[in-house]
Structure 1
């Protein structure tokens, strides 16, 4: 039976050659990621070796990227401001590399390849990268609640990428709902173990990452630690913290009922952390001078049986392995037919044969949002019922999506039906919703390389339409081209109100501390927390207002208003809007740098 060219389902065998074997540059990039992972964290490297061979390169890329970014933030002989600038520069470079599909930096090249090959959405890492940068300036946390929130911001997004990786391979790492709390506590235990292991390095920088609540029962311990002096108070504090970390990482119920491969990984991780905690307990005063290392014998006692168990588990497990990802250079272009997933087609060319402008990658927006206004007025001007304007607007919608695909836009969000549109005539409402349903069921966009998402309220829409919206989300979830978000029964204030309600519930359940809430906490509770901020908000119809559309995501969006009514729009209008955006200078509240004074002319 022929195998699909986009994905193959194989049993993992030792002879499998991973994606890094496809070209020498990529192979070298993944090897560097492997060395970086081994050097920075031998325990993580050992755990990755327990994974199927086909997943290891992706994990090396993820952990190497996290390590390199962390190193930029932790450079001991560099001023904090310069470290922060370097960390920000690395993050911006990653965003650029993801947009163009390649990188000159080997570790980012491997990460970009991993994201494309395994269909990982790395936008969820933005909060973790920002937290690493913020920690450069030092953060003292008052209590365990704040400490947990901070730790989870930094590590959970990276762990979630590994979880998504397993899911893409066909092996779920999803935990039962009644074990989610145990999983979070396990992650917190790993973070506390890391803090105790790296105590000497942090103290050398004048940093102490334990919360004040942990230090208060041991008077004098904080001052002694900052002076790097071992004392009875410090010894008691370390004993207390290692015992706490040991309790947190020992969660045997967490992996019950889980696939034996991932279960072995988590159980082995817990065992390795207990071995590390034993080394911390045994270190005594040397803990303040250098990181403690467990003995080779202790690690071998954990890893030897784990290798046997994991080998057996994965040898019996079929995994979905992606095929080669075509290398992209320069501006994103639609994939050639040979590389496009089976059954998908390119957007049809414009009738006039026009092609999109070439926009430099660093001037290209990531996310364009459109208020499609003017359908009714277009119809009235032609003596037609308003409903005919909405039907005519469908052609403009298709053209805009075609243009977004051709120019390589990653995210496009369309305002199709607002919460305020229920005030309109019943017949007009029915026409709009029927047009949306028709596109979802039989429209030509179904066969394009776009991932469909829906934002809006499900309780007032016809259930057939809700079913169609959710069906398309599920059907297109694995596609890697344009992410098309349709806002149907959407209102910005309604979204913010529902998000606030979700935060209240989270606070009531002890998941967040109301006194420590930040923008990132709010963003994580939005219906689509991974939606990037809007770079360009475009409205047609000769109106100049944002009409309750994406108020949170579009806070810093560039605004573009045009006189054309929506049915008169085609892909060239989108390209014109993007071209204008590329010429603007975005400052996000910063001042425009003053030009350097011209040198005095010597007479």
Structure 2
């Protein structure tokens, strides 16, 4: 067997790096010097402000690193504006707001004078990112300067979801564009959310001293009350046994959240390497917090250089190997209209939202009083197959016609201002149907997602159900739409696919049991609110109106937890025959009903006959 000479091995290892340099040089050849300087400024800002994040960005594909610098430089600039020493909270909030408004203007113009904003806008143009998802996080940074108070860990994690997840989502979009998606499997979505919360909690503990100097203690009341006296001691700068116990317990909780061994299963090796390395760096940072003791109140703890090297050196080797197998060039710069002959491409196709198309017959939406409008309508879309059979068509044609009716429901919901619409598309029991029909249903859903008929409407799209039996590409398509539309504030559309209500409750009970086993939940304190937090979509409001088409009068295991007090509405016609006018009629019927939620309504007192006036004396 021939042995490869050492020089040849070195040449082989150097070849991918040389190819990356050539690709990067070609992609930068059309850039102006000021844009290159903007990216260099972002790189320097990230390296100076957050060495750990800079090290992680270096594990990204070379083509994505400038985009990573731009994102984290922007996040750091906003944090700096929010944390400026010597400035009043109102002044700091105003500076964050001014920077955010300037970013909006730069997005509209396609460029800008500020180097960090210019690099961020250029990144969005090159990679097709939607920066509108960051505006909510920026508003949260603005509000943080006035201090935040959290009742419990659920509120704390909601704050984390608002302020951190949008930035992480942008990185996920970048990896998707580079052909190396880092989105976790749907059955690991809870682990992913816990991991991000663990990263934020690690950051909170690391910055404990500097936050206390500004009067901030960003831990929930639930944690503070567990160690009486700890809050007062920390605010006074005293490292007492209670304060040490609080920090120790919170550090242990952060370790639990970042320890998610199955999180990267099935990911591209480069993306998995980045997340695994992030978890190792977070654990090293938590070790530094533990070792700091009382000095945590005076300085920011950091892992030793040796500890960082033990983590990063092998990670860099794995990254070079992984990305050499998935080469990706930096996209060419995309110019605004003033610099190009054609129309300026939007930063993302869905940043400009359009109204729903009008009804084909010219029907206008009714005006519905706010106190007569349901907040959440759920629909069992029944009768597709029968509709097709009555017309001598294959059942698959009924499902195709049913998707048109589903679009009509979305249009009609937007027109009347409905906030939540949930559609029952495929149940856990529907697997008993003919294989051909199942395939037609699932392929139709995938075609619908790809066609994007509601993509540029103000609709936040979500999915509820089990991922295990669905095609992986369909699950990933749903995940992509969820991430892309998460910042929208109009209609929340939830599609239930491979969904069963009892199954949802069973999985929530299992999640609650795991939380109790991990010490996150006290079993004796579990109530309806605590249980609901462990449902797949804990923010889904109760169903006000449950409507079923097709003539059947049962709820068929649909949203049993959320629909306990729903008004039921049944109509005889099959689903493909309905349009938005039928939704308006259902909402009008809801408005005529009296909802008591178990309370007694006093009967009206019988009217007394009028008394004859007394005769004058």
TM-score category, normalised to shorter length:
0.5 to 0.7
Q: Pairwise mapping of residues 141-290 of structure 1 onto structure 2 (< 5 A)?
A: 141-290=150-299
CA distance in 1, matches of 2:39, 2:121: 11
Alignment equivalent of 1:13, drawn from 6, 20, 31: 20
1:313 maps to which residue? 322
CA distance in 2, matches of 1:94, 1:514: 40
CA distance in 2, matches of 1:332, 1:133: 38
Residue 475 (structure 1) shift: 5.7
2:23·2:330 contact (CA, 8 Å) conserved in 1?
A: no
Deviates more, 1:245-254 or 1:56-65: 245-254
2:353·2:457 contact (CA, 8 Å) conserved in 1?
A: no
Residue 271 (structure 1) shift: 1.0
Query: Could you list the per-position Cα deviations for residues 72-100 of structure 1 after superposition, in whole angstroms to 9, with x for gaps in the alignment?
Result: 22223222222222212222221221122
Alignment equivalent of 2:112, drawn from 103, 118, 130: 103
1:12·1:314 contact (CA, 8 Å) conserved in 2?
A: no
TM-score (norm 2): 0.58
* Long gaps (5+) in structure 1: 1-9, 340-364, 378-418, 420-432, 441-454, 488-493, 526-546, 552-603
TM-score (norm 1): 0.59
Query: Could you list the per-position Cα deviations for residues 358-416 of structure 1 after superposition, in whole angstroms to 9, with x for gaps in the alignment?
Result: xxxxxxx9545366479669xxxxxxxxxxxxxxxxxxxxxxxxxxxxxxxxxxxxxxx
Q: Pairwise mapping of residues 516-535 of structure 1 onto structure 2 (< 5 A)?
A: none
Residue 257 (structure 1) shift: 2.9
1:12·1:52 contact (CA, 8 Å) conserved in 2?
A: no
* Long gaps (5+) in structure 2: 1-16, 364-380, 382-399, 408-420, 427-437, 460-489, 516-528, 543-582, 588-617
In the superposition, relative to structure 1, how do residues 514 and 465 fare at CA in structure 2: closer, same or farther (>3 Å)? closer
1:347 maps to which residue? none
In the superposition, relative to structure 1, how do residues 15 and 297 fare at CA in structure 2: closer, same or farther (>3 Å)? farther
Aligned residues: CA RMSD: 4.7
CA distance in 1, matches of 2:458, 2:291: 58
Query: Could you list the per-position Cα deviations for residues 160-189 of structure 1 after superposition, in whole angstroms to 9, with x for gaps in the alignment?
Result: 110111011111112122222222111111
Answer yes or no: is 1:474 the counterpart of 2:457: no
2:433 maps to which residue? none
CA distance in 1, matches of 2:344, 2:73: 28
Alignment equivalent of 1:369, drawn from 348, 355, 366: 355
In the superposition, relative to structure 1, how do residues 317 and 205 fare at CA in structure 2: closer, same or farther (>3 Å)? same
In the superposition, relative to structure 1, how do residues 225 and 465 fare at CA in structure 2: closer, same or farther (>3 Å)? closer
- SS of 2:82's equivalent? helix
Alignment equivalent of 1:121, drawn from 118, 123, 130: 130
Residue 319 (structure 1) shift: 3.1
The higher radius of gyration belongs to: 2
Residue 310 (structure 1) shift: 0.9
Query: Could you list the per-position Cα deviations for residues 427-449 of structure 1 after superposition, in whole angstroms to 9, with x for gaps in the alignment?
Result: xxxxxx99x99xx9xxxxxxxxx
In the superposition, relative to structure 1, how do residues 215 and 522 fare at CA in structure 2: closer, same or farther (>3 Å)? closer
CA distance in 1, matches of 2:493, 2:167: 29
In the superposition, relative to structure 1, how do residues 514 and 330 fare at CA in structure 2: closer, same or farther (>3 Å)? farther
CA distance in 2, matches of 1:262, 1:33: 22
1:221·1:233 contact (CA, 8 Å) conserved in 2?
A: yes
Residue 280 (structure 1) shift: 1.2
What is the count of residue pairs matched by the alignment? 417
CA distance in 2, matches of 1:28, 1:257: 38
